[in-house]
């Protein structure tokens, strides 16, 4: 069942006062999130994945297009979508104690020491943490409290915006395990925004690969990782140091993400693509199905 | 030939809350042309080590003990003037966050040229060609144009390349890289690593590469040391450490990177130690799955063999493994 | 199971430890501690001055005019024989009190406006900021002269002359501080929890910028005292014979060469209090910033 859906969503950020120059952060994206699955959105920084995550959460209003929650469009917030942010230092109010941070997410009827302690236990913190201020917590503990706040709101969907990127390697595993654990217990739907393919391979069911504000490939994680169809996906897979399936052909990395103010004509990846043809300059490739659930936007066939 | 030898180095921070031993009797050698990786969590002392090597420990930190021999000279005994000549010229450094080391109001090419000027008193105008070729060396596309760019016009990866260009400008013998790729995307990270590998060959550069990520370090390092709570807990060839880690902490670090789909990752229980209040005995014992009662009493000792060593009570009395 | 009472108690106690730590951090700076003591003593004396002073500050005594400091009159007497110490004590409620009330009014209004414009941005925010800028370019003295002309010199026009120019200063200051905080992820998290704008403004933004407001108010108290005195000195403020400190300096200016202490004693007091407020501001800035609370 589709629980969350983005229909042809656009978001441009004006950068001059006349609004003529715009950063095309999200440039016509449609996707859906199925109930209880983990959808990963991958891409480099500047690919628009964070903006897309914020649009899905309702924090950012798209310029065009609709967000559908269980089939009906919504405006503003309904509390069923919560978020875990990348930077643990910024995600907790420095002048609040853990109790206040977590209980803020509860309605007045449920607000109590017991229920806060219960939620903290779910994220692996003992009740003594109730008294602590954020500056007394380590990075991993802060992220646990942030997760506790998200689940205290009893959400259905949790958007994880690079939830472990800012943490030490040894703490990352703890947090990822916790997230897997919570999903198993509570059946949350996750949208994981991450640039690390190892993590995407580890916890996602489906993956959306974004490049310069567009979706270039989408499909089941196994299928996309084992049989990548877009040269950009292949490049990302080749660059990863994690133990994930290595692509059959190796596309070495070249260049950097193009300007999102003046994106290249035609296919946006053509400036870095070793397989670019004349056609790629002229016409933008559209997403098409290579298999039932695997879509790619590229003229080449690998 | 040994380029850098760190012997029994200890650094302490005196804070209002108490004394922190950020480095506790650390030993380390780097040969010419060798890349040594230092792995550890935040607070393990790895960054302090990087700064201590060029005597840039920030107050309230202080080097309290030890010797740092660079090319046979003890860095700790040099005058401020002499150490300044070594910094940047013979030992240079790159950092995690390149933007804070670039001046936002000058073009990056100018800032790179300044490096030459500071150490060699060359005329700035003659340097344009040098800077452009240096930019090419660090694989900056359109280098002729890029020398005139300002830092805010460049991406994070590009800025890191500029910093690398500055660092290698004077053909140093040792490059200290403090988490140079941690803030970057995987794709850019891969490129920076391959760039460093290439430069290492070309300049026969030695690199001290500091990171919290075993995977990244193993991509570039010949040898690796693993730090925990200010102490070296394991040392050896990078390949061996990644394939057969000995110390329980190293094992945990390596296992934590082994992703399998939808399976729980191995994770180290507990949190990094409170440096103000280190546990007695082996500092890792509260988090260690192999801990015995005797670990609380164990006093730190590196058990060495010809290619490295490990500091763990498990390997006591069993000879070198 | 958790023991509720103990946890609740611990929470409150822990909240206190933050206050204690802040106080300890402040105390470490001896000069600002001294400034605080100076300010508190002068304020205490001025408070006492509302009901009591050694001599009647308004009663002339021509036989004892222009007497240098002595045991009977520790700070001497002025050209009408009035005891200067008594006049300073009685005048504190005008100089300090006026500055305090005026800045409190200005700061409160300015902070609300700044919060609203910093959180909501948009049209409301733009209007608040543009109007603030217009007011910012009007010098305080011109506004004071205007009020003096319309309302006559006195307490009310001095009060307004200080309070009104303070509003845009705080509106700008709080606006930019709020802008920084509103982009923090915890504000976004609160929005996802369906919290209202005013709730977020007062519970998440204000507590995290309050230190900026407090520090600015401390600095501004110095400026305010200076403005009250300057207006008094120029005859635009509280008129004589009210012993407002600036008015005292202004009225005594003819004696600056013959009997300098009549001018300098209130003058030095103004300077000391103003400097004390500035030093206190520096000390508070370091002690109050919640971001500097971390241990390592």
Of the pLDDT bands very low, low, confident and very high (cuts 50, 70, 90), residue B250 is: very high
**Per-position b or e across A63-72, b if 16+ CB within 10 A of its CB:** eebebebeee
- Give the distance from CA A293 to its chain's centroid: 19
Local structure of A241: helix, strand or coil: coil
**Per-position b or e across C126-154, b if 16+ CB within 10 A of its CB:** eebbeebeeeeeeebeebbbbbbeeeebe
Residue C247: the pLDDT is 92
Q: Render chain C in DSSP notation, one character per residue.
A: ---HHHHHHHHHHHHHHHHHHHHHHHHT-HHHHHHHHHHHHHHHHHHHHTT--SS-TT---GGGTTPPS-SSSTT-B-TT--BHHHHHHHHHHHHHHHHHHHHHHHHHHHHHHHHHHHHH-HHHHHHHHHHHHHHHTS-HHHHHHHHHHHH-SSHHHHHHHHHHHHHHHHHHHHHHHHHHHHTSHHHHHHHHTT--HHHHIIIIIHHHHHHHHHHHHHHHHHHHHHHHHHHHHHTSSSPTTS--HHHHHHHTGGGTTTSHHHHHHHHHHHHHHHHHHHHHHHHHHHHH-GGGG---
What is the rounded CA–CA span in Å between residue C137 and residue C131? Answer: 10
User: What sign for the dihedral angle of Cα B45, B48, B52, B58?
Assistant: negative
A262 CB burial (10 A radius; 0-12, 13-18, 19+):
exposed
Residue A22: the pLDDT is 85
Q: Is A27 an interface residue toward B (CB < 8 Å)?
A: no
What pLDDT digit, counting tens, does each position of A216-251 carry? 999 999 999 999 999 999 999 988 878 788 888 888
What pLDDT digit, counting tens, does each position of B36-60 carry? 999 988 888 888 999 999 888 888 8
What is the rounded CA–CA span in Å between residue B247 and residue B317? Answer: 15
Tell me the two tokens of residue C244: 């407002």
Interfacial A residues in 163-222 facing B (CB < 8 Å): 168-174, 176-177, 180-181, 195-199, 201-203, 221-222
Residue in B266, B276, B265, B272 with CA at minimum distance from that of residue B286:
B272
- Which among B257, B258, B262 is the nearest to A203, CB-wise? B262
* Minimum mean pLDDT range among A108-112, A156-160, B89-93, B247-251: A108-112
Using CB atoms, list chains with 3+ pairs below 8 Å to chain B.
A, C
Q: Is the pLDDT of residue B102 over 80?
A: yes
Answer whether C295 sits within 8 Å of B275, measured CB to CB. no
* Residue A263 phi, psi dihedral angles, 5° rounding: -65, 155
Which residue is it, tokens 């990302």? Answer: A236
What pLDDT digit, counting tens, does each position of B263-282 carry? 888 877 777 788 888 888 89
* Residue C244 phi, psi dihedral angles, 5° rounding: -65, 140
Q: Is C296 an interface residue toward A (CB < 8 Å)?
A: no
Q: Is the pLDDT of residue B125 over 70?
A: no
Chain C residues lying within 8 Å of B276, measured CB to CB? 295
Q: Is the pLDDT of residue A194 over 60?
A: yes
Residues B261, B264, B266, B267, Cα dihedral to 10°: 130
What residue segments make up the domains of chain C, in order of their start? 19-53+77-293
To the question of domain B2-90+172-315 being in CATH 3.40.50.300, the answer is yes
To the question of domain C19-53+77-293 being in CATH 1.10.3720.10, the answer is yes
Q: Is the pLDDT of residue B189 over 90?
A: no
Residue C296: the pLDDT is 32
Q: How far is C112 from chain A (nearest CA, A)?
A: 20
The residue ranking higher by pLDDT, A144 or B122, is A144
Answer whether A242 sits within 8 Å of B253, measured CB to CB. no
Taking a C-beta distance cutoff of 8 angstroms, is the pair C188, C158 a contact? no
Answer whether A81 sits within 8 Å of C7, measured CB to CB. no
- Which among B187, B216, B269 is the nearest to A44, CB-wise? B187
Chain C residues lying within 8 Å of A105, measured CB to CB? 193
Chain B interface mutation, best of A48, A132, A168, A197, highest count of B Cβ atoms under 10 Å? A168
Chain C interface mutation, best of B13, B14, B16, highest count of C Cβ atoms under 10 Å? B16
What residue segments make up the domains of chain B, in order of their start? 2-90+172-315, 101-171
Answer whether A44 sits within 8 Å of B158, measured CB to CB. no
**Per-position b or e across A242-252, b if 16+ CB within 10 A of its CB:** bebeebeeebe
- Which among C188, C190, C290 is the nearest to A95, CB-wise? C290
Give the residues of chain C that fall short of pLDDT 50.
Answer: 294-296
* Residue A124 phi, psi dihedral angles, 5° rounding: 80, 30
- Tally DSSP H helices, then E strands, for chain A: 10, 12
Q: How far is A196 from chain C (nearest CA, A)?
A: 22
Domain boundaries A2-296, corresponding CATH code: 3.40.50.300
Q: Is C296 an interface residue toward B (CB < 8 Å)?
A: yes
Chain A residues lying within 8 Å of B259, measured CB to CB? 198-199, 201-202, 242-244
* Residue C67 phi, psi dihedral angles, 5° rounding: -85, 135
Number of Cβ pairs < 8 A linking chain B and chain C:
7
Of the pLDDT bands very low, low, confident and very high (cuts 50, 70, 90), residue B319 is: very low
Please state, rounded to an integer, the average pLDDT across all residues of chain B: 86
Residue B262: the pLDDT is 78
Q: Is the pLDDT of residue A19 over 80?
A: no
What is the rounded CA–CA span in Å between residue B264 and residue C171? Answer: 52
In chain B the first and final C-alpha atoms are separated, in Å, by 26
Answer whether B186 sits within 8 Å of A171, measured CB to CB. no
Local structure of A188: helix, strand or coil: coil
- Give the distance from CA C286 to its chain's centroid: 18
Q: Which helix (H) or strand (E) holds A32?
A: strand A22-34
Q: How far is B119 from chain A (nearest CA, A)?
A: 32
């Amino acid at each position: 069942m589709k629980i969350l859906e983005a229909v042809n969503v656009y978001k441009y950020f004006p950068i001059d006062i006349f609004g003529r120059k715009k950063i095309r952060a999200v440039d016509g994206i449609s996707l859906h999130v199925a109930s209880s699955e983990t959808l990963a959105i991958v891409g480099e920084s500047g690919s628009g994945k964070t903006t897309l995550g914020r649009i899905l959460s309702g924090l950012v209003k798209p310029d065009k297009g609709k967000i559908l929650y269980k089939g009906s469009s919504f405006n503003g917030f309904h509390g069923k979508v919560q978020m875990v942010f990348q930077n643990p230092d910024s995600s907790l109010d420095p002048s609040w104690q853990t109790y206040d941070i977590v209980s803020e997410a509860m309605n007045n009827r449920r607000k109590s020491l017991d229920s806060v302690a219960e939620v903290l236990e779910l994220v692996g913190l003992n009740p003594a943490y109730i008294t602590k201020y954020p500056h007394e917590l380590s990075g991993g503990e802060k992220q646990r409290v942030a997760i506790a706040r998200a689940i205290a709101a009893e959400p259905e969907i949790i958007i994880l915006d690079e939830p472990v990127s800012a943490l030490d390697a040894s703490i990352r595993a703890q947090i990822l395990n916790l997230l897997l654990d919570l999903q198993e217990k509570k059946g949350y739907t996750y949208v994981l925004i991450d640039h690390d393919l190892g993590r995407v391979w580890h916890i996602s069911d489906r993956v959306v690969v974004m490049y310069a504000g567009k979706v270039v490939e989408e499909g089941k994680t196994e299928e996309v990782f084992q049989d990548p169809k877009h040269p950009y996906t292949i490049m990302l897979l080749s660059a990863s140091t994690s133990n994930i399936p290595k692509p059959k052909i190796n596309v070495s990395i070249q260049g950097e993400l193009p300007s999102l103010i003046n994106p290249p004509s035609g296919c946006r990846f053509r400036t870095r693509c070793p397989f670019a043809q004349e056609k790629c300059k002229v016409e933008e490739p559209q997403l098409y199905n290579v298999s039932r659930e695997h879509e790619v936007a590229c003229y080449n066939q690998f | 030939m040994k380029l850098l030898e760190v012997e029994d180095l200890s650094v302490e921070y005196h804070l209002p809350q108490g004394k922190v031993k950020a480095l506790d009797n650390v030993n380390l050698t780097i040969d010419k042309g060798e890349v040594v990786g230092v792995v550890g969590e935040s607070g393990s002392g790895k960054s302090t080590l990087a700064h201590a090597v060029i005597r840039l420990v920030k107050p309230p930190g202080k080097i309290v003990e030890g010797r740092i021999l660079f090319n046979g000279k003890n860095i700790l005994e040099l005058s401020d003037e002499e150490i300044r000549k070594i910094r940047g010229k013979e030992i240079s450094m790159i950092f995690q966050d390149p933007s804070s080391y670039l001046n936002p109001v000058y073009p990056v090419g100018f800032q790179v040229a300044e490096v030459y000027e500071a150490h060699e008193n060359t005329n700035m105008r003659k340097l344009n060609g040098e800077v452009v070729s240096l930019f090419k060396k660090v694989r900056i596309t359109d280098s002729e144009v890029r020398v005139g760019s300002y830092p805010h016009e460049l991406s994070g990866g590009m800025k890191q390349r500029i910093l690398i260009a500055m660092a290698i400008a004077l053909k140093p013998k040792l490059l200290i890289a403090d988490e140079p790729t941690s803030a970057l995307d995987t794709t850019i990270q891969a490129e920076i690593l391959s760039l460093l590998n290439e430069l290492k060959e070309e300049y026969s550069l030695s690199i001290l590469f500091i990171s919290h990520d075993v995977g990244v370090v193993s991509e570039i390092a010949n040898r690796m040391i693993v730090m925990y709570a200010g102490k070296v807990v394991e040392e050896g060839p990078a390949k061996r450490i990644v394939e057969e880690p000995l110390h329980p902490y190293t094992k945990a670090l390596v296992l934590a990177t082994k992703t399998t789909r939808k399976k729980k990752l191995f994770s180290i229980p507990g949190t990094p130690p409170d440096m103000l209040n280190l546990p007695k005995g082996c500092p890792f014992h509260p988090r260690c799955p192999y801990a015995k009662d005797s670990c609380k009493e164990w006093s730190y000792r590196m058990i060495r063999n010809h290619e490295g060593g490990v500091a763990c009570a498990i390997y006591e009395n069993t000879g070198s493994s | 199971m958790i023991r509720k009472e103990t946890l609740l108690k611990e929470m409150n106690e822990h909240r206190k430890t933050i206050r204690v730590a802040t106080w300890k951090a402040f105390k470490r700076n001896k000069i600002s501690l001294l400034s605080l003591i100076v300010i508190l003593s002068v304020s205490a004396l001025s408070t006492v001055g509302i009901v009591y002073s050694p001599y009647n500050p308004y009663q002339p005594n021509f036989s004892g005019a222009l007497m240098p400091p002595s045991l009977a009159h520790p700070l001497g007497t002025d050209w009408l024989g009035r005891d200067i110490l008594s006049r300073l004590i009685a005048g504190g409620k005008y100089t300090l009190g006026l500055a305090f009330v005026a800045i409190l009014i200005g700061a409160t209004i300015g902070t609300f406006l700044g919060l609203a414009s910093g959180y909501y941005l948009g049209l409301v925010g733009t209007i608040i900021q543009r109007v603030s800028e217009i007011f910012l370019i009007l010098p305080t003295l011109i506004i004071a002269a205007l009020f003096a002309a319309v309302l006559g010199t006195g307490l009310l026009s001095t009060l307004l002359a200080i309070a009104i120019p303070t509003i845009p200063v705080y509106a700008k200051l709080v606006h930019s501080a709020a802008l920084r905080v509103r982009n923090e992820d915890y504000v976004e998290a609160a929005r996802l929890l369906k919290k209202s704008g005013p709730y977020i403004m007062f519970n998440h933004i204000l507590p995290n910028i309050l230190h900026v407001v407090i520090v600015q108010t401390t600095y501004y108290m110095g400026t305010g005292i200076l403005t009250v005195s300057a207006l008094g000195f120029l005859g635009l403020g509280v008129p004589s014979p009210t012993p407002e400190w600036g008015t005292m300096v202004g009225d005594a200016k003819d004696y600056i060469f013959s009997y300098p202490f009549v001018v300098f004693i209130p003058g030095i007091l103004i300077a000391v209090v103003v400097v004390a407020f500035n030093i206190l501001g520096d000390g508070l800035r370091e002690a109050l910033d919640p971001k500097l609370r971390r241990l390592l």
